[in-house]
Amino acid sequence: MRFPEDVPILTDGEDLRLRAHRPDDIDDFLAMCSDPGYQAWTDKRVPYSRSDAEHFLTELVPSGWREGRVWGWALEHHGRFAGNIDLGSTADGGGDVGFGLAPWARGIGLTQRAVKLVLRFAFDQLKWDVVLWRAIAGNWASRRVAWRTGFRGFTTVRGAGTLHGQRRDEWAASIKRDEEQEPQSHWWSVPVLEDGKVRLRPHRASDVQRIVEACRDPRTQHWLPSLPSPYTLEDAEAFIASKQEGLASGDRVTWVVADPDTDEMLANVGVVKLTGTFGEIGYWAHPEARGRGVVTTAVGLVVRHAFTPIEYGGLGRHRLELTAAKGNKASQHVALANGFTRSGIRRQASLRRDGTREDLLVFDLLESDDDRQLPFPSPSCAPTGSIVG
């Protein structure tokens, strides 16, 4: 293709256009590539110079079009340069997509719209069968765009990426020609739940020390033998970091149970294995919170949220399950106090740290069993926080 004559203009409305880059984009492109938020996730030179921007826009982009290996567009929003997006050929019938936005243009859905436009170009004009998305692990903004536009099979490839000269883990996903360009799973949020006795909120970096104290406790270590021992600050930091992955994958939602007055962490509670309309509740408490009904109250709040329909901000569960080792009377009390029914036993399924085993009791609760539901508002008043998107 000739550049810029043959570069197609792609648009889904008057406010967004994907067009050929122009020399007058250089200053805006330089500003974008010099932004710390942009540099944190791309392998552009730091510091990025005007000559770097000129080389990219006036030599690399045109040659990519002419040679038929990289197809790059400028994003234009209401006539202003807003970012860059490109398709790169990786093999016969496939390639990958890359994108970046100027700071002022972030958070208003432009990248999602641009990706859908170039996907149609890849499938309809280039006749590709599949498009890949890749990003350095931890780039949640990029992953959210990929999720919103229908990419599937999110996975982590260890050490597959490089960033500023260092090897890093990389996320990857793909979308095929005939697949729907819409989210294929839930990306949950963590709403604040409270009743005056406890407040359930997202995890924070400031919770690390309390997590270490709770997870080093001999009682916690006894009933949760999968915990590292000794439990370190690094383990707690990794635990907090893992919460975002659970939300993004649609697998779990986890809360800190906090004191409503001091905001100090008292316990941890979550709903995991969020497949279909099922969920499993798990929890542990800081030693200082035991015997005060903290976990029992928190589980009650989580149950109500879990049974609240998705369209009203909840998790839309039909059945919840809770398991407790036969010897863990405190955990069994939490289940029974919240209306769970003992429904089964998994013989010798609870492994202790010393290698011994004991029976695991199974408790379940159906949506129809729970009488704590409040009348739902009309759909027009429904909250929108449980699914990001």
CB half-sphere exposure, 346, CA atoms < 13 A: 12
**Residues 49, 52, 58, 64: what is their CA dihedral angle, to the nearest 10 degrees?**
-150
Angle at CA of residue 287, ends 284 and 290, nearest 5°: 75
pLDDT tens per residue, range 104-162: 999 999 999 999 999 999 999 999 999 999 999 999 999 999 999 999 999 999 999 99
Domain boundary among 126, 146, 176: 176
* 206 and 281 within one domain: yes
Residue range of the domain that includes 126:
10-176
Asked if the model's pLDDT at residue 380 lies above 50, the reply is no
Q: Pairing mode, if any, of strands 16-19 and 80-91?
A: unpaired
* 169 and 202 within one domain: no
What integer pLDDT is reported at residue 383 of this predicted model?
37
Closest CA to 328 of 202, 225, 209: 225
* 336 and 219 within one domain: yes
C-alpha–C-alpha distance, residues 38 and 28, integer Å: 13
88 in a domain, yes or no?
yes
pLDDT tens per residue, range 295-320: 999 999 999 999 999 999 999 999 99
Q: Provide the token pair at 209.
A: 């020390």
- Which residues pair with residue 278 across a beta bridge? 319
Mean pLDDT of the region 50-68? 97
* 367 and 245 within one domain: yes
Q: How many domains does the chain have?
A: 2
CATH of residue 358: 3.40.630.30
Per-residue confidence at 371, pLDDT binned at 50, 70, 90?
low
3-state SS, one letter per residue, for 37-78: HHHCCCCCCCCCCHHHHHHHHHHHHHHHHHHCCEEEEEEEEC
* 250 and 137 within one domain: no
Q: What average pLDDT is seen over the chain?
A: 94
Mean pLDDT of the region 54-78? 97
* 203 and 171 within one domain: no
* 202 and 59 within one domain: no
Asked if the model's pLDDT at residue 203 lies above 70, the reply is yes
What integer pLDDT is reported at residue 1 of this predicted model?
87
Domain boundary among 133, 148, 176: 176
Per-residue confidence at 294, pLDDT binned at 50, 70, 90?
very high
**Quick one: which H or E segment has residue 132?**
strand 130-136
Per-residue confidence at 374, pLDDT binned at 50, 70, 90?
very low
202 in a domain, yes or no?
yes
Asked if the model's pLDDT at residue 67 lies above 70, the reply is yes
Per-residue confidence at 198, pLDDT binned at 50, 70, 90?
very high
What integer pLDDT is reported at residue 372 of this predicted model?
55
What integer pLDDT is reported at residue 217 of this predicted model?
98
389 in a domain, yes or no?
no
pLDDT tens per residue, range 9-29: 999 988 999 999 999 999 999
- Which residues pair with residue 375 across a beta bridge? none
- Angle 233-249/140-148 helices, nearest 10 degrees? 20
* 146 and 211 within one domain: no
Which residues are within 8 A (CB) of 5 and not within 5 positions of it... i.e. 6 or more apart? none
Domain boundary among 176, 207, 226: 176
What integer pLDDT is reported at residue 92 of this predicted model?
85
386 in a domain, yes or no?
no
Q: Provide the token pair at 190.
A: 């963590």
From the CB of residue 269, how many other CB atoms can be counted at a distance below 10 Å? 25
2 in a domain, yes or no?
no
What integer pLDDT is reported at residue 91 of this predicted model?
81
49 in a domain, yes or no?
yes
What integer pLDDT is reported at residue 215 of this predicted model?
98
5 in a domain, yes or no?
no
* 161 and 224 within one domain: no
Asked if the model's pLDDT at residue 378 lies above 70, the reply is no
CB half-sphere exposure, 150, CA atoms < 13 A: 16
C-alpha–C-alpha distance, residues 204 and 97, integer Å: 33
Tell me: cis bond preceding 379? Omega within 30 of 0 counts.
no
* 279 and 133 within one domain: no
C-alpha–C-alpha distance, residues 147 and 70, integer Å: 23
- Which residues pair with residue 131 across a beta bridge? 95, 175
**Residues 73, 176, 170, 44: what is their CA dihedral angle, to the nearest 10 degrees?**
-10
Q: Provide the token pair at 159.
A: 């050490």
Asked if the model's pLDDT at residue 360 lies above 70, the reply is yes
90 in a domain, yes or no?
yes
C-alpha–C-alpha distance, residues 124 and 178, integer Å: 11
Q: How far apart are the first and last CA of the chain?
A: 37
pTM of this prediction? 0.90
C-alpha–C-alpha distance, residues 203 and 243, integer Å: 8
* 170 and 271 within one domain: no
From the CB of residue 38, how many other CB atoms can be counted at a distance below 10 Å? 19
**Quick one: which H or E segment has residue 104?**
none
Asked if the model's pLDDT at residue 373 lies above 70, the reply is no
Q: Provide the token pair at 205.
A: 């970096």
* 152 and 286 within one domain: no
Mean pLDDT of the region 45-65? 96
